[in-house]
Amino acid sequence: MIAEAPSTDNRARRAMIDSQLRTSGVNAPFVLKRMGEVAREDFVPAAAKGIAYMDRAIRLENGRALPAPLVQGKLLEEAAPTGKEKAIVVDAGSGYLAELLKPLVAELTVLSPEEAVGTGRKGKGADLLVIDGAVEEIPANLAKRLADDARIVTGMVSNGVTRIAVGRKTAAGVSLLPVYDTGVPVLPEFAAPKGWSF
């Protein structure tokens, strides 16, 4: 039996892992395995399939963006799921990060940014929140869906600079700590209220 040559997409996926993830410090085996298994090209518009593995955000048909592979690799690595979590993913419309995370947690709720800032109860009691985009703040309505001591992994924007951040929900509220500077598409629904200024 003659072995089939790897497809172009499989080669592109391998190149993404070797030249983008590994070289930037994303080496957790579970991340590399999932990102090697999930076809990123299935989560972008047809016109972008040929560039699905490039190291840049890709514009989605809804006007939002699928972050670069490194961003989602870092989010997944920082989330470090154990397989027991009740998780929420806030998804900007691609479904890619949710597909990566789905087999790694016990239960997964996917929310759009609009649902996440709304007053719904989907995902209530979650102990892991992963946001596929950069936020200025975690709104109270979303924090209410989280269990005490829930872990949070998100992009964060401050003064126009985006980073990967990790945090917790405690009785005192939500705290985030930036851990890695990288370009993350901003989710405008998570903008902090503007204060009064002269």
64 Cβ contact list (under 8 Å, min separation 6): 92, 93, 133, 185, 187
The total number of residues written for the chain in this structure: 198
Per-residue pLDDT of the chain (198 residues; tens, 9 = 90+): 444 434 567 899 999 999 999 999 999 999 999 999 999 999 999 999 999 999 999 999 999 999 999 999 999 999 999 999 999 999 999 999 999 999 999 999 999 999 999 998 999 999 999 999 999 999 999 999 999 999 999 999 999 999 999 999 998 889 999 999 999 999 999 998 875 544
What is the pTM (predicted TM-score) of this model? 0.92
Residue 3 buriedness (CB in 10 A; 0-12 / 13-18 / 19+): exposed
Residue type, 51: I
Q: How far apart, in whole angstroms, are the C-alpha atoms of residue 9 and residue 52?
A: 9
Q: How far apart, in whole angstroms, are the C-alpha atoms of residue 61 and residue 64?
A: 7
Composition of the chain by helix, strand, coil, percent to 5: 35, 30, 35
CATH number for the domain formed by residue range(s) 8-190? 3.40.50.150
